[in-house]
Each structure stands twice: as structure tokens, then as C-alpha cells.
Structure 1
């Protein structure tokens, strides 16, 4: 079970405010993913970074059959459900909730929003894709209503095949998201400055 362990930073949580949920990668920490805020246009955002128990949201590759990542995967998704519900009780609308993740955290963010598609504020996935040995289309439902999504990745990437990124973008587009995908040749498993710029321009500053 993932214990409830969430670090908060940024602007305070307030009714009709904005919140950015930040999900760290495997072997990383909430503190690490929060450090990205230095480079992001999030002055008006409350920041929430959950910590995965044991430093991993699920034990195997995101390309493993889903049952091989249980019960950790379902626990992580349930944690996000609870976090979103808690923000709603505090007066934050889903259209003012944003998600950001890197690597395993990006996969988890994409899996959560696609299983629960609605109009979110925006989604930033630094190197990630939908979870499973294949795309399980029946797992996904809802309408993103033009939620802006940015997915950036390297080609090649040791952990995330670019083919899964393309397949993920296609599903999100089918479900009404406004997806921008960007593939960087030989970038490595990291985040580059252009991705930060895209995140700020396309997602965090969109509509302001």
C-alpha cells in the first residue's frame, strides 16, 4: 500500500485556485520532483507531490502486463483519486487541476487521467506512456474536452519506446485531448530545456 505522504509547496490551496500534482519517477522522491518548480511558471499554483512508498509507484516495467504491477498500481491510482477528491472538497475544480510526471510518474499521470478523462487544466508528461503490455482500450473512458497535454520523450529511450508514446497520444486525441508530442533524438532519459519551455507555454500559461 502507498501510504499517504504528500509534500505541499507553492501557493496555498484555496477555493477556485490552481493546483499542480507532481509525480516523481522510480527511485526518486517528492522532493526531487518539486525541485522542478524552480523552472516552471507556477507562481499561482499550489504544488502537491505525493511520495511513493519505497520510491516506486509499481514494481515492474510499465510495459509489463498490468496484473504484474498489482496491487501497487491500483493503490497508486486510488491515491490519486483520493487526492483529486480532496481538492474538490476544498473548492478546486478539475479544470484547475494540472498533472506533471517524469518517467514512471509520467506513466502514472497518463494512466490516471485517461482512465478518468474530463476537462483538466493540463497535463505534462516528461517521458511516459499508458501502462500495460499493450493498450487496453476498455480501461479508458470519458472526454478530455480539449484538455492540453504535452508529452516529450527521447528516441531512443531505454525505458519508454517511442511507439508507446505515439500510441498514447493517439488514444488521448481520440478522447478529445489537445495533445502536443515532441520527440528528441538521442536526448537520453532526462528533461531538457525545450520541454520546460513547452510545458510553460502550452500548459501552465495556456489561457492566461
Structure 2
């Protein structure tokens, strides 16, 4: 088992110029650089971009639907790295309503789990093929209220890693905690990010969804 080194990549204009941050969370086997490559399609020139890098290129070793204790201590370490990233941004005078998070696959699951454990008014969340973590969802982990945060959550049907049932459970919890959720299930879509998901993510980042 492993924990994560504090390794957070940055890209774009300084936060003092943009006043907005987008935290991009890569998937299993990927890198901060690879998730940054998505930025070219998202019209984020007016954001400061952050991408934490997972040790061994994986946020936790097993499926997100394995018992949570099987993914420790990597999972808690990953959640802590996201927390440190958000707190660093806030310490520079940026309110949570100007902080956006986007993740794909394993990174989407981590994004969903972190945000729901620390629910507040974020700028927006893009959970691209992901859901809350654990063999069963433990509601006692989740604190706060999203206060209308716009959320995009997606998966394929079927998807080899993220079942529709877990996305449905996640949507119910996000909604109960005050998020404004847009759910998209794509029949027959491969485990990837589609052009429609990119278009919807752009709307989240522009405050149009």
C-alpha cells in the first residue's frame, strides 16, 4: 500500500489574475499532464489549472466499489491531497464558489467522494464516469451542503468500471445535499470522454448549466 507525495502541477495564468481555479483529477494509470491535455478542449484560458499527481499513477489500488478499507491508506491520502489543494487556493483569497473540480474515471470517483465529504458552494463539479466510493455508501462520511452547486455526472451503459446503479445512488445523495445535478447515461459508449460531455463540462465552467 502507498500514500501520495504532495505533487500538484499548475498551468495557466496566476490565480491572482484569474480569480478562478479548476482542479483536474486524472484517472487510473494516467498523469497530471494527460488530464491537462483535456484543457485545450474546455475553454479555460480564464482559469488557473491545478492537477494533483497520484503516486504510482493510481489514486487507490482496487475498484472504487471495493470495501473502502481495502483501498487504504491510499484513498485517505488522495482525499487529503485534494483537500490541501483546495485549502491552498482558498488561502490565496479565492472563495469556494470560484473553485471547480473535474475528474475522469478513478479521478471522477475521487472528485465525487472529496466534494461530498466537504460539501459547500463550489463553482461546479464535472464527474465524468464516476460515483461515490465504497462497497456500500456510508452516509456518515458526508458533511455540509452544496448550496446549489452545478454538477455534471456521467457514465456509459454498460461501463466496465462504473455501473449506472452507483451513479443513480450518487445523484440521489448529491441532490439531497443541495447540488443541482445534470445526469447523463450514454448507451454503448466506451470508457472515454465524449464530445457531448466536453460540451456539457464547458457549460458547467461557464455557469450555464
User: What range describes the TM-score normalised by the shorter chain of this pair?
Assistant: over 0.9
CA drift of 1:5 comes to 1.1
2:196 aligned residue (191, 194, 197): 194
1:205 alignment partner in structure 2: 206
1:25 alignment partner in structure 2: 27
Superimposed CA distance per residue, residues 87-120 of structure 1 (whole angstroms, 9 cap, x where no aligned partner): 1111111110000000000000000000000000
1:71 alignment partner in structure 2: 73
1:96 is aligned to 2:98 = yes
Q: Distance in 2 between matches of 1:178 and 1:16?
A: 25
Q: Distance in 1 between matches of 2:67 and 2:29?
A: 21
1:13 is aligned to 2:25 = no
Q: Distance in 2 between matches of 1:197 and 1:92?
A: 26
Give the total of aligned pairs. 207
Unaligned runs of 5+ in 1: none
Structure-2-length-normalised TM-score: 0.96
Unaligned runs of 5+ in 2: none
Q: Structure 1 residues 195 and 207, CA, compared in 2 at 3 Å: closer, same or farther?
A: closer
Q: Distance in 1 between matches of 2:206 and 2:51?
A: 20
1:105 aligned residue (97, 104, 107): 107
1:80 is aligned to 2:82 = yes
Whether the 8 Å CA contact 1:41–1:205 is kept in 2: the answer is no
Whether the 8 Å CA contact 1:16–1:91 is kept in 2: the answer is no
Specify the SS of the correspondent of 2:15. coil
Structure-1-length-normalised TM-score: 0.97
Q: Distance in 2 between matches of 1:135 and 1:79?
A: 21
After superposing on structure 2, the runs of 4+ consecutive aligned residues of structure 1 that deviate more than 4 Å are none
